[in-house]
Chains A and B, each alone.
Chain A
Amino acid sequence: MARRVVVDTGPLARVEGEGSLTIETRGAEAPDVKLNIFEPPRFFEGLLRGRRAEEVPDMVSRICGICPVAYQVSSLNALEGLFGVEVDEQVKRLRRILYYGEWIESHALHVYMLAAPDFLRVADVLAVAEKHPKMVREVLALKRLGNDLMSTIGGREIHPVSLKIGGIYKAPPKHTLSALVPELARLRGSVEKMVRFVSSLDKPTLERESTMVSLHHPDRYAIDCGEIISNRGLRIQPSAYEENFEEHQVEYSNALHSRTKDGGSYMVGPLARYNLNFDQLNPVAKELAKDLGVTPPLTDPFQSIVVRTLEVVHSLEETAAEIEEYSEPRRCSAAYKVKPGVCFGVSEAPRGILYHSYVVNGRGQVERAKIVPPTSQNQARMEDDVRLLVPTIVKAESNEARRLSEMAVRNYDPCISCATHFLRLDIRNLSPGSPRN
């Protein structure tokens, strides 16, 4: 039977970076689903070789303009662990507020500007603004607040400059953070409307069994650090990551696919965090979740968009509490001595676990770097989801087939810039003449 190309998206819009999706069917055979990533690799792991450990946080942040804090924090967790640095508790608090700012900004961007247009069947946020002007203004204010938190602590929102091994270059005076509290309070009041809006959107469904992996921290809904857990009973330290997960190349993509050691795909990100750490979600977000009827177990990836908004509620509440508790650290930065060795660091980027490992030599230079971003962990999962939707997709007319399959990919908020900082230069399927949606 002839192969039939059911969907070929061409370059995907409203994702970070360059990729496309193709679905081919052949009779009763399993459909062929490929997320083609043609974003050129930038070889960051290679570039880091020979660089000094203290340069690493600023360099790795350039892997991704959407989640630079995640890159900085994962690398700091690794290197500070190796050098045995004890970071001041108030500095840790600042790093968390910075990270909450990134979650708020990134989630607001994804939910309302990249994903919501799908649900409303329009092209972009401008069109959403025509229908819902007040809400879009409120979303932009939310995004602004996330950015303001980042620039107050980090100097700027994209590639912040303040974090360093041992602490922070300069701690903001309390009043600069307090200045953000009125707007924070206003948004804590108005965010529920935005959550309800997203919750009320008409969504496809995809009920499925999933291996979900996230960090877990004893004291809080994990964000800046923790051990790695799964809904299959996994509980490991970051140092055991590579014993439990492995990456492999696929011919059609410039990004590696991660799988569990037994070969299964797995999911990281908001839905995984939510299912595994729901008890630790801020009570305000938890109550709202109960009211909306979206409590765990929540396995449908199309619910990810709702979970992201609940994580925004959580982040706003936690940020308010952290600012309240903040006082200027007595010591911005701890002295440390460079030590050789291998180290591991993880944190919860907006899109899921971001794993870093470095080998540092006696002169304090990086000899080997390995970075596994959330999007490469989710890639196999995205293809699996689309595969499960194929029976619906083949019955739909072509625009709807395309919309549905793109949504299944956008559920994971793929960050292709992140996922292709490493791999080989096999550039496929970049047809400049192909229609751009």
Chain B
Amino acid sequence: MPKPRLGVFKFSSCDGCQLSILDAEEELLSLLDKVDLGDFLEASSASSGAPYDLALVEGSVSTQEEVDRIVKIRKDSKMLVALGACATAGGLQALRNWSKLDLFESAVYPEPKVARGLEKALPLTDFVAVDFELRGCPVSKAQLLQFFATVLRGTKPRFPTSAVCFECKRGGTACLVVADGTPCLGPVTASGCGAICPSHGRGCYGCFGPSDDVNLDSLASWLEAHSVDRSTVTLLLKGANSRSTEYRGWLENNG
């Protein structure tokens, strides 16, 4: 059986999610040995090009060129995977969606010129169908490897989308909100990171995006009862996953 052809592509992003692939040091060589590297520009100057059995896309779509590129990659790929928060929910750069682009331009340009970018930075699903999402800013390396292990065997992995709170409970981390009123998005954030932040004594800031059945009104009032004001909740939700349906919906009504 021929090896499945892999494409790894970068859109508007920080490189961190595709770096997670190269960070799988122990597994990297055997992983790359199990695929035909069709395209992975950061890692290789060799390219056998389209079509791809498996395409991993990092980054959000923020220019017309990127729109054209993602449409083409979709056409060329059997399975398209959104890799990380920028691809699944816009990433931090999607915060510009709450302002006028020209405000940012005048803020950072020496000589503002006509902008050719899109007004917004958007997740892949705004343009194409996505077959699977790996959440996180950055993605979890463990999930990434599990993903490869299952997909290369012809099945799809399932990752829990229950809240970070469950990871805290399982890991024996005391609740920071209850203990000292630390603002925390744990109750509305999907698990996957291993509750790193609470285990370091800080509140979750939502890298993995919305969990199942989020109730943001309830979270906001519960945090308010612990002396966390709404503007803090708003800022926390205006992170890497602000363009997710759930966070965005609440922010539009309350932000």
Chain A interface residues (CB < 8 Å from chain B): 11-18, 38-47, 49, 51-52, 55, 58-59, 62-66, 68, 109, 113-114, 117, 123-127, 129, 136-137, 140-141, 143-144, 147, 155-159, 161-162, 164, 169-170, 247-249, 256, 368, 415, 417, 422-427, 430, 432, 436-437
CB <8 Å contact, A424 and B105? yes
CB-defined contacts of A427 to chain B, threshold 8 Å: 63-65, 116-117
- Say whether B3 faces chain A, with CB atoms less than 8 Å apart: no
* Apart from A41-B108, A425-B117: 17 A-B pairs, beta carbons within 8 A: A14-B44, A18-B41, A39-B12, A42-B12, A65-B14, A113-B22, A126-B44, A158-B19, A159-B137, A169-B202, A368-B107, A415-B15, A417-B13, A427-B63, A427-B116, A430-B65, A436-B39
A55 to B92, CA, bound (A): 12
User: Which DSSP category, helix, strand, loop or mixed, fits chain A's interface?
Assistant: loop
A162 to B45, CA, bound (A): 36
A127 to B72, CA, bound (A): 29
Given contacts A170-B200, A424-B105, contact A42 B47 (CB under 8 A): no
Closest residue of chain B to A140, judged by CB?
A: B25
Sort A-B residue pairs by CB-CB distance and give the 6 closest, nearest first.
A65-B16, A46-B104, A124-B44, A123-B46, A425-B117, A13-B45
Closest residue of chain A to B47, judged by CB?
A: A436
- Say whether B179 faces chain A, with CB atoms less than 8 Å apart: no
CB <8 Å contact, A46 and B108? yes
- Say whether B145 faces chain A, with CB atoms less than 8 Å apart: no
- Say whether B69 faces chain A, with CB atoms less than 8 Å apart: yes
CB <8 Å contact, A417 and B14? yes
Residue from B68, B92, B196 in contact with A47 in the complex, judged by beta carbons closer than 8 Å = B92
CB-defined contacts of B4 to chain A, threshold 8 Å: none
CB <8 Å contact, A158 and B45? no
A422 to B111, CA, bound (A): 12
Interface size on B, residues (CB 8 A): 69
CB-defined contacts of B205 to chain A, threshold 8 Å: 58
- Say whether B162 faces chain A, with CB atoms less than 8 Å apart: no
- Say whether B211 faces chain A, with CB atoms less than 8 Å apart: no
A286 to B211, CA, bound (A): 52
A39 to B11, CA, bound (A): 8
CB <8 Å contact, A248 and B110? yes
- Say whether B146 faces chain A, with CB atoms less than 8 Å apart: no
Residue from A55, A124, A164 in contact with B37 in the complex, judged by beta carbons closer than 8 Å = A124
A42 to B96, CA, bound (A): 9
Max chain A Cβ within 10 angstroms of own Cβ: one of B45, B137, B197: B45
CB <8 Å contact, B32 and A126? yes
- Say whether B87 faces chain A, with CB atoms less than 8 Å apart: no
CB-defined contacts of B143 to chain A, threshold 8 Å: none
A436 to B99, CA, bound (A): 36
Q: Which of B69-116 contact A (CB under 8 A)?
A: 69, 72, 91-93, 95-96, 99, 103-105, 107-113, 115-116
Least distance between A101 CB and chain B CB atoms (Å): 12
Least distance between B61 CB and chain A CB atoms (Å): 9
Closest residue of chain B to A430, judged by CB?
A: B65
Residue from B11, B14, B99, B197 in contact with A161 in the complex, judged by beta carbons closer than 8 Å = B197
What is the 8 Å Cβ interface bit string for chain B, positions 20-43, against chain A (1 contact, 0 not)? 101101101100110001010111
CB-defined contacts of B104 to chain A, threshold 8 Å: 43, 46-47
Least distance between A134 CB and chain B CB atoms (Å): 12
CB <8 Å contact, A46 and B107? yes
Given contacts A14-B44, A59-B92, A123-B44, contact A256 B110 (CB under 8 A): yes
CB-defined contacts of A40 to chain B, threshold 8 Å: 11-12, 62-63, 66, 117
- Say whether B178 faces chain A, with CB atoms less than 8 Å apart: no
CB <8 Å contact, A417 and B15? yes
CB <8 Å contact, A147 and B46? no
A371 to B96, CA, bound (A): 18
